[in-house]
Structure 1
Amino acid sequence: MSERLDYQKQAPALFKKLLDYSMAAHATTIEEPIQDLIAIRASQLNGCGFCVDMHVKQATIHGERPLRLHHLAVWRESTLFSPRERAALAWTEVLTQLPVHGVPDELYERVRGQLSEQEILDLTHAVMGINAWNRINIAFRSEPGSRDKAWGLDKADLN
């Protein structure tokens, strides 16, 4: 498959606004390791190869352990994630694959047991951001690894 179009060049103002939103959502109460995990998990669920590739490389650069990255797809069965990380991953999954009847109260209460209201709001914005990126990269078939050098992801040394 080849890339359909370069959305960054076609609509630079909108690209910048989405980037600004994502950067603002990233600079919140949610710590970077959790931000990395939720970006990868949402991208896995959405089937966005470009974003999975990018965020695995970012997480590696940030010091994430390879085994945790391998376990992310099966985080419920893994013992490698803290209760706080589990809450963030559960929230990410429910917002990425919204149930017909919305977010269950039981899940909200479970997440609320690990994160403050501000943290839940900040996490929600981070999930919204990665889902937007997934959708645009899937729509236009962004090629995994195609922007590694420009974005410094080659430092992950995963090729």
Structure 2
Amino acid sequence: MNARKVRSYEVMRRLAHVRESQASLELAAAIRVEDAAAKDAAEAEALRVAAADARYRCLHVPGGMPMGEYALLTTLCDSLHEREAAANGALQEAAERRLAKAEHAAMAGRFVDRVEDELTVSRQAFASVREGRSLADSLDLWVNAREGD
């Protein structure tokens, strides 16, 4: 092991941390998008339910059914149903993107862990080699000092 390999792993670790941070930021953004989509879907559902309830009440009005209001509410219900379907589709897409970003962030985290493990092994091997050289140099100095006596 040499210092160059240890240095390479240190640089790789820094790059891996940057990628991990970027993946975490992308995941956070995807979560915000999904939350907004969930809010839109819930709002669309609430509006559709309110319009459907109003349409149902038109059917049970004493003294006759207001046909104009019923037709308007039916059209509104259909429109809100389409809006709800679109909002649910957007929510599904946002959830899929969030899952993909979460997997990417997890992979980036695992890569950081592997690089850090390799860096630790490389540092230990380099320290062992350096210690061995130091010990050999010390023995040479001791032998040379003994021969000089």
TM-score category (smaller protein): under 0.3
TM-score (norm: length of structure 1): 0.25
Higher helix share: 2
Higher Cα radius of gyration: 2
Q: Which has the higher contact order (CA 8 A, sep 6+)?
A: 2
